[in-house]
Structure 1
Amino acid sequence: MRRLVEHAKEVVRFAPVRPAVMAGIRAAIATVLPLVMAHALHVSGGLWLCLGGFNASFADKGGSYRARASSMGAGLCMGAVAAFLGAVAGQEAALSIAVALVWVTACSFGGVYGAAASVVGNTASSAFIVSLALPVHSWAEAFQRGGLLALGALWAMFLSLVLWPIRPYGPSRLAVAGGFRAVEAYAGEVARLFARGASAEAWQEQILLHHARIRETLEVAGSTLAATRRGRGESERGEQLLVLLQIAEVMFSTVIALGDVLESQRSEARAHPEWERVDAALGTFCLELQRLARGVEREGRVREPSALDWGAPTPEAARKLELEWEPGERAALGYAWRLVARLRGYVEAASKTETRLAGEFLASPGPPPSWAQQVLGPVRDNLSMGSLVFRHALRVGLTTTVAVAVSLAFIPSHGYWVTITVLTILQPYTGATFLRGLQRVGGTMVGGLLAAALATSLDTPTELMPFVFVTVAISIAIIPLNYGLYTVFLTLTFVLLAEFESGDFTLARVRVLNTLLGGGLALAGMWLLWERPERELLPEQLAAALRANREHLLLALSERVGPAAPPSESHFSEARRKIGLATINAEASFLRLMSEPRRRAEPIEPVMTLLAYLRRFAAAVISVAASPADGVSRESRVQVERFGNSAALVLEDLAEAVHRGRAPSPLPDLDGLLPVPEQEPLLRLQLERVARRIGVLHGAVSRRVAQTPLERPAAPGTP
């Protein structure tokens, strides 16, 4: 019962984002105006003009003009072909079933080319199914149907790209840019406090003022971006904004570390030219953040990253400092410059991501990929049952084909609503499919009841068209808020249009019954055809995150172990990127598990602890990597190597234990392998934090095996 209540809450939960009112009105104009013109001019086939405009509006997921034109243009072409193909194949039942299997599977497999291709494939499949249910009697009618759908889509493209361009990711852009501006304000204040030799009280005041504000800004940006991506579907644009937000996060933590170093310097050290150069580099960082924020806020092309001077110390200055400064002072300055170098690397990474966000593509080293690599490469890489996209495409194709066969055999009226429901509900993951099914069925039932109540009072085009305009606008506007509510207004719209075209006022009941049947088929297909429940995927994701952290730890300690060449910043950036992706994947898998209807194989508390401390462990290792590595004694290097090897073995054992569902091996005494405090006080303190994080991870993995599914730990003192 509690699980049903949780699912019910998820069905009616609204995302914390404003409705896309302007996008809804624009979609209503693209959808309804062609239908009005067709009725006014007594042109048959207005429904296909309407469908073309609606599908093209739905395929507009934002981005640069080139990206939007490409996705909408692909939707136009695929939709026209789908309408023509469905009209021809619908003349024979056997041909309908065969072509449906091939076409829908191929369209679903198009997801290997990205989120935009997946949306185009879904709309093309829907157009095919509707056309399949309404066969024609000649090739000329089939060509006319495809042409009308293309004409409606062309009108939607002209409206979206020329007459009324809208920035659907505008709020997310502004929120992410606000994160950069908040970090820039804090970095500027750190530079000013250092320059004037502020007191400890002044530093503390600024920390209290800025840290909470920046954290709130980043949290708001994250929730805004998540809601936009959830409402509009995954897209490359949303992914690039997410990367930029993560870069702002690591910039914030790095500025905190740099501020701590600057605050610790004596007043006489602040006046030294080398520390003044650090202060100037921080000013350069602020200028770059201002440029990044402006670039993120606007659409279109961005200018090249500026060639500002970051003022790194010259070799001559370094040799002079070696003679004049104490070891502690040199270490502090070296640590500060290491942090500045990290900030510069983050700026360069953000600049590249910002360029991709604007629809531009950076030239890759080496020759550009060939046509075969671009087109055939993703297909070749995913032609196996191990591919999630391939399994999902087969599942959608087979389930849709069964729905087509059932509709042809047993459903005389509007059987395509069964198939459309299957196409809409089926998602790559079980939890998402179940949630979408509940929202689709519930929304269709409510919308069907409303349509039945309103059908008799809207019996002329003059009364119907304004009402349909409003319902289309509302349905598109509220997609980011809640899919179920979107389904209510979508059902209301198309049931009224279908009833008006056919004069049959019982279609609301037919729509509800057909949707219920389609929902049942979709869930059956999800559970019977190559389902990999999240309880099987989550251990793999957790193990991958643990192994990514293991590699990062070994990389961070490699500078302090041997005389080999130290890893470059690009190596660290790639390691951090792998950690971020692996942790995000594990967190997303856990959230999907919580939405599954049959989640009986995973305790909650240990996994939540494991996910939280994976990020804290990564932060502790980043602190080690950012600290100076020079001056480590030979004895300490031996101790660090032993510690690193033991810690790496523990992390690998934890990954294997998570993956196999077994208890981990006993935790060794990592504290006994730490360097001597008198020789390496800073490094020992940092490695102590790493060891404590490993202990927490080990405990979480142990409890995960010991607890029963979804068991919550007892409160202290309870039997």
Structure 2
Amino acid sequence: MVLGIFKGNIAINFRELLQFFKSADFSKAIMVGVAVTVPILLGIYFDQLEIGLAICFGAFWSSPSDASGSYRHKKIGILFSAALVVIVSFIGGYLDLPIYILIPVLGLLTFSIAYISVFGFRASLISFSGLLALVLSFAHELQELEVYQYALLVGLGGLWYLLLAVVWHGINPTGEIEETFQETYLLTSNFLHIRGQLIEPGLDRQKLLSELHKLQEQLMEKHEKLRETLILYRRSSGRSIYHSKKLLVLAQLVEMLEIAIAKPVNYSNMAVVLEKHPQFVERFQKLMFKVSEQLEEIGYAGKNKKKLPKNGELQQALKDIEIEISVLKSKPNNENLSAYLMLQNLYEYQEQQVELLKKIKWLLDDPKEEELEFIDEKYARKFIAPQDYDPKMLVSNFSFESLIFKHALRLAVTVMIGYGIGTIFDFQNPYWILLTIIIILRPSYGLTKTRSKDRIIGTLIGGAIAFIIVSLVQNTYLFAILGIGSLIVAFSMLQRNYKTAATFITLSVIFIYGIIRPDILTVIQFRILDTVIGAGLSFLATLVLWPAWGFLSMNNNLKNCLIANKNFLREIAAYYSLNKKDHTTLRLTRKKAFHETSNLSGAFQQMVQEPKSKQINVNEVYELVTLSHAFLSSLASLSSYIQNHCTTEASEGFKSAVAHIEGNLERAIGILAHVYTKDNFSLKSQEQSFEDNRLKFNTIVWDFENALKVGDERNLQEAHLIIGQLRWLFSLSGKMLRFAQKIENDIVVE
């Protein structure tokens, strides 16, 4: 048995190693390695090392814009990066100024370049390229080239990197898409597995739900990336059968996430039913785990259609549950009726999951084009959030209310201080302090703290390894091989494990310096010292220079989440009420609700990484985050049910019940937006208002329930789910209102 586990672990590790070598991160690292070494080797060969270095720098500085996403956006990003580094290199060539003038100029340039990030993610990568060029302009003194020549050669280096990126895309045009889909399959598989665990009594439900929230956030990010890549490709290059099929696969994965989040009733009611009928726990888990397992198999199958799993086991698992439910239905008992309706609804959700999984496998099995119903491009583009590049954003963000403005200012001041320290105390390479600062200092405290720690640990480990190697070997060629190899590993690990990346960055820098300078041990000492100073300054800056604590923006995140959920509820009610169904608006509001709920989870995770003194109302915020996820889960249940079943006409009772839920949400939104008076915070008036609303709501729902229960079994099933969800939504919205008022009461008291 031990041997079997050992062999299994070896197989898993080997598979993961192969996946790493196939990854976009590794291929990009190889490309960066080629981009920086070829110009240097050619420069040495033709005795034009300074030209080779300029081209090498340009390629290296332009590479950050080669991030995952739309191929067109990548090319534009690399071009803009190349243009920016030309401008910065030209300006940097004339920064031979007195220290009292140089430091303010350095701060102004740093702020201006960092402030470009207001235009979004791709702009932040271009900004980072500019900051690298600015900092490293202090590291290289021109010998033979003029400043303008050097700047133009740097731009040529950017074009050289672009050429490599275009060539690699031509060789492997779908590699990044396939990798992102694999990650999405595996994340969805993990999500479904945890969902299956949740129906088992006695497990730590809060811990599992917390894991689900994190996975949901990651899945939303993957879905958004795939949408951008697939839809924008169709827009710029015309329809591709490959991309159109992949868009259909993505649509199934998005639906799977909604159904996975959905549940027929709240967990406490389900736990009671499953406790009385424990045989269903095993049956449902078997099915849910099998769906999860098959998604994992699909993820690792890649393009090999022979490795796609079969449908037989899924169909058998569904049949087993159906038989058990039929047995339960055959026993005449009021309690059994309620349990039957709940389990039947849960069964139908899982049946939908199986159908979606079967369709994914069918799409991956290369069906004929005429068998496919492709997604309309105009419809698909509605799900892409356009990036605003209006120059007015530079003006609108120029205030301390903007996180980017505060970050750019914080970065500029920290860079000025770092350069001042490095110059005053005559450090060997003061630009290393600046380089550490621009890499580590992030807009959020938590990420800066983590990066500072990982950077210092990685640098110490890298310095120790380099010291051992240098003590044993003195070979220039070996240093060159180790330097290039370390650089490739460092770049491939940047997004996966920053501590490991920092270790290999240190190794590459030390070995490259070991070729140029004989005093490599001194280089190691200064590398460690500069890194510690840069990391320390970055960490202190997040604490004292216009800190962006999570609690300052938490109300806004909570408010946006409640607004998105309210709009989703409103669209569900409209969809339920109309004869002509509009899927587009419903799905757009669903996407927004999922997105804002994930944003809220991310904001809360950042908040809990901050100092305890800055975690204001953290317990209340946690409850609101948890309630928001539960509310979205309930909405997903309603949305999935009404889209996949023929429902009765929405009555006035349904509309009135929804209006009461919306009323609770609107009051909570108003409170979080600080639209309140002192009278709102009378506890007595709060509780009386809650009780009045609860009584009115119950009266409406009883009437609605009695109206729905007249009819066949399908009406009973609909009544059970719709009424159960309305009661649950009203309860959740009431709790949200209470916690929102508690947060504001605390603020008023303070």
TM-score, normalised by the number of residues in structure 2: 0.65
In the alignment, does 2:179 pair up with 1:171?
yes
SS in 1 for 2:391: helix
Question: Is the 8 Å Cα contact of residues 109 and 393 (structure 1) preserved in structure 2?
Answer: yes
Task: State the alpha-carbon separation in 1 of the partners of residues 111 and 250 from structure 2.
Answer: 36
Aligned counterpart in structure 2 of residue 616 of structure 1, from 633, 646, 651: 633
Alpha-carbon distance, 1:579 to partner: 1.0
1:498 counterpart SS class: helix
Structure 1 pair 31/557, CA: closer, same or farther in 2 (3 Å)? same
1:594 is aligned, of 598, 608, 621, to 608
Q: Which residue of 2 aligns with 1:671?
A: 698
Shift of 1:656: 4.9
Structure 1 residue 574 and structure 2 residue 579: aligned? no
Matched, 1:524 2:533: no
CA distance in 1, matches of 2:226, 2:404: 14
Deviates more, 1:597-606 or 1:489-498: 597-606
Deviation at 1:441, TM superposition (A): 1.9
1:690 aligned partner: 726
Aligned counterpart, 1:210: none
Contact 2:423-2:430 at 8 Å conserved across structures:
yes
Residue 51 to residue 252, structure 1, CA distance change in 2 (3 Å): closer
Q: What's the counterpart of residue 526 of structure 2?
A: 510
* Partner Cα separation in structure 2 for residue 411 and residue 228 of structure 1: 48
On the 8 A contact 2:220/2:595 being kept in 1, the answer is no
Counterpart of 1:643? Answer: 657
Structure 1 residue 398 displacement after superposition: 2.6
Tell me if the contact between 2:489 and 2:504 (Cα under 8 Å) persists in the aligned partners: yes
How many angstroms apart in 2 are the aligned matches of 1:631 and 1:235? Answer: 34
* 1:37-56 equivalent positions in 2, closer than 5 A: 37-45=42-50, 46-56=52-62
Residue 643 to residue 548, structure 1, CA distance change in 2 (3 Å): same
Residues 245-284 of structure 1 deviation map (CA, whole Å, 9 limit, x = unaligned): 5762326767999x99xx99xxxxxxxxxxxxxxxxx9x9
1:384 aligned partner: 399
Which residue among 461, 464, 474 is the counterpart of 1:446?
461
Please, which of 665, 680, 697 is the counterpart of residue 708 of structure 2? 680
Q: For residue 557 of structure 1, what is the aligned residue in structure 2?
A: 573
**Hey, what's the Cα distance between the residues in 1 that align with 2:569 and 2:79?**
47
RMSD: 5.1
CA distance in 2, matches of 1:92, 1:294: 68
Distance 2:559 2:569 in 1: 15
The change in CA–CA distance for 1:226 and 1:468 in structure 2 (over 3 A counts) is: farther
1:160 counterpart = 2:160: no
| AA aligned opposite 1:21 | F
Q: Secondary structure at the match of 2:547?
A: coil
How far apart, in 1, do the equivalents of 2:682 and 2:741 lie?
6
* Number of the residue aligned with 2:303: none
SS of the equivalent of 1:88 reads: coil
Cα distance in 2, alignment partners of residues 228 and 671 from structure 1: 36
Cα distance in 2 between the residues matched to 1:291 and 1:380: 51
Report the alpha carbon displacement of residue 492 of structure 1 after superposing the two structures with TM: 1.4
- 2:380 counterpart (335, 352, 364): 352
CA contact (8 A) 1:175 1:224 kept: no
How many Å separate the matches in 1 of 2:219 and 2:259? 28
Which of 489, 499, 511 matches 1:484? 499
* Contact 1:495 1:508 (C-alpha < 8 Å) held by counterparts: yes
Q: Distance in 2 between matches of 1:651 and 1:663?
A: 19
Q: What does the per-residue CA deviation read over 1:403-453, in whole Å, with 9 as the maximum and x for residues that have no partner? A: 233333333310011111111111122211211221122212222233333
Alpha-carbon spacing, 1:227–1:463, altered in 2? closer, same or farther (3 Å):
farther
Q: Deviations over 1:526-572 (max 9, x none)?
A: 222322211333332123212222233234335678xx998844432
Partner residue of 2:452?
Answer: 437
Distance 2:87 2:106 in 1: 13
> What whole-Å deviation, never above 9, does each CA across 1:563-622 have from its counterpart, x for those lacking one?
x99884443233223212211111111222233344633128625532430321322442
> Is the counterpart of residue 146 in structure 1 residue 154 in structure 2?
no
In 2, Cα distance between equivalents of 1:112 and 1:238: 25
Q: Is the 8 A contact 2:227 2:247 kept in 1?
A: no
Cα gap change, 1:41/1:92 in structure 2, threshold over 3 Å: closer, same or farther?
Answer: farther
Question: Matched residues in 1 for 2:61 and 2:456: separation?
Answer: 21
What is the Cα deviation at residue 103 of structure 1? 2.2
Kindly tell me the number of residue pairs found equivalent between the two proteins. Answer: 580
SS at match of 2:705: coil
**Quick one: distance in 1 between partners of 2:74 and 2:545?**
34
Measured at CA, do residues 252 and 584 of structure 1 come closer, stay the same or move farther in structure 2, by a change above 3 Å? Answer: closer
Q: Is 2:71 aligned against 1:57?
A: no
- Contact 1:225 / 1:242 at 8 angstroms: preserved in 2? no
Q: Distance in 2 between matches of 1:457 and 1:224?
A: 49
Q: Which whole-Å CA distance do the structure 2 matches of 1:95 and 1:574 have between them?
A: 53
Residue of structure 1 equivalent to 2:287: none
Kindly state the Cα deviation for residue 290 of structure 1 after the two structures are TM-superposed: 8.0
Structure 1 residue 628, shift from structure 2 partner:
5.8
- Counterpart AA for 1:686: I
Q: Normalised by the size of structure 1, how large is the TM-score?
A: 0.67
Shift in alpha-carbon separation, 1:147–1:605, aligned structure 2, 3 A: closer
Q: Which moved more, 1:600-609 or 1:643-652?
A: 600-609
Alignment of 1:294-313 (within 5 A): none
How many percent of aligned residue pairs carry the same amino acid? Answer: 18
**Rounded Cα–Cα distance in structure 2 between residues aligned with 1:179 and 1:695:** 31
Q: 1:471 deviation in Å?
A: 0.6
Quickly say closer, same or farther: Cα 1:624–1:163, change in 2 above 3 A. closer
Decide whether aligned partners of structure 1 residues 381 and 242 sit closer, same or farther in structure 2, where only a CA change above 3 A counts.
farther
**CA, structure 1 residues 400+354, in 2 after alignment: closer, same or farther (shift >3 Å)?**
same
Equivalent residue of 1:596, what SS? coil
Match of 1:21 in 2: 26
Q: Is the 8 A contact 1:81 1:146 kept in 2?
A: yes
Q: Which runs of 5+ in 1 are unaligned?
A: 1-14, 182-218, 265-281, 298-302, 310-343, 708-719
Partner letter of residue 18 of structure 1?
Answer: F
| Residues 115, 405 of structure 2: 8 Å contact kept | yes
- Residue pair 2:565, 2:632 contacting (<8 A) in 1 also: no
Aligned-partner Cα distance in 2 for 1:81–1:127? 9
Aligned amino acid, residue 75 of structure 1: S
Which amino acid is the alignment partner of residue 434 of structure 2? T
For 1:606 and 1:286, the matched residues in 2 are separated by 34
